Amino acid sequence: MEQTVATFYQFAHLPDCLDWQKKLRTRCKKFNVLGTIILAEEGINATISSSVDGIEAIMDFIKEDPRFSNLTYRLSITPRQTFYRIRVAVRDEIVTLGDSSINPNEQVGKYVEPENWNDIITDPEITVIDTRNDYEIEIGSFKNAVDPDTQTFGQWDEYVEKKLSDHKEKKIAMFCTGGIRCEKASSHLIKKGFKEVYHLKGGILNYLEKIEPENSLWDGECFVFDHRVSVVHGLKDGNAKICFGCRWPLQEKDLESEKYEPGVCCPHCADKLDPVRRASLEERNRQIQIARNKKRDHLGQDVALMTTKKIARKNRQKTKTGLAR
């Protein structure tokens, strides 16, 4: 069944986030809207899917509040069921940097529209940094962008201290999936004393939506945290798959490997799975196939994807010590 997917975020003063949680959960259930919505006193961050009418109902409700009247969102169409439930959570931050003193509502870097982004990233005087996690960068990034080799956004401050502390007088440009991490990272750098900081407005998704492939400097696919796994130009579904053994996004070369077993393991983890973990994955995959044959959704797929970042980080750390499972 065709689904409309909306991704959006906005930093705003939201001390009543607990009230918003109740209202959004009720409204999403009423209009059969699924996905993940994160609320905090600093704002909102979400990816949701539904019919066009369902998405419009939620967006209209959110934008009724003056704090979100200028909220923008990305829409894409997919034939896949991107989520199987609605989750509305209240957190300390809508994207976890781990430093509550950073407030994008007070100061951020200079926004760069997608149409001007190519000029920024081809400027030899500007250092361009991908603020996403390593497993996201694995399947695509902008050409010549710096990979900070971080497994979570919470490691950003450590990266800055080790690698950028002597770059405060230099120009820095950053990007991420939808704009939220690079916007918060820009606020962080400004507080650290960086003089000239830029970030891609609306992130990679905005760029892929607005820039034609022939004019693009994007290389690969863009990882997304739902069942699509990745998107390409025009926000069309990409070809990447997720390994259920280690949560690593897989490209064509991985899928062609003799170590790839659908629903079980991939070249990144096949030699690290212990027998118990392998048996569990094989049984889980068998149950998913049974559900598919009966044309029912298996909720285990959604539970797994909801925890992609956490599981990926944990398993990669274990892989380095030979203990992946």
Q: Which residues are registered as beta bridge partners of 230?
A: 223
Q: Which residues are registered as beta bridge partners of 249?
A: 242
DSSP of 120-178, one letter per residue? HHT-TTEEEEE-S-HHHHTTEEETT-B----SSGGGHHHHIIIIITT-TTSEEEEE-SS
Element holding 47 (H helix, E strand): strand 43-50
- 211 SS3 class: coil
Q: How far apart are CA 73 and CA 9, in angstroms?
A: 8
Contacts of 208 (CB under 8 A, 6+ apart): 216, 218, 222, 231, 232, 233, 234, 235
Number of Cβ within a 10 Å radius of residue 150? 18
- 280 SS3 class: helix
Question: Amino acid letter at 90?
Answer: V
Contacts of 214 (CB under 8 A, 6+ apart): none
Q: Does 266 participate in catalysis according to the annotation?
A: no
Task: Out of 176, 222, 243, 265, pick the active-site residue.
Answer: 176
The answer to whether 234 and 209 are in contact (CB under 8 A) is yes
Closest CA to 245 of 296, 297, 316: 316
- 118 SS3 class: helix
DSSP label of 265: B
| Cα end-to-end span (Å), the chain | 34
DSSP label of 15: T
Catalytic residues: 176
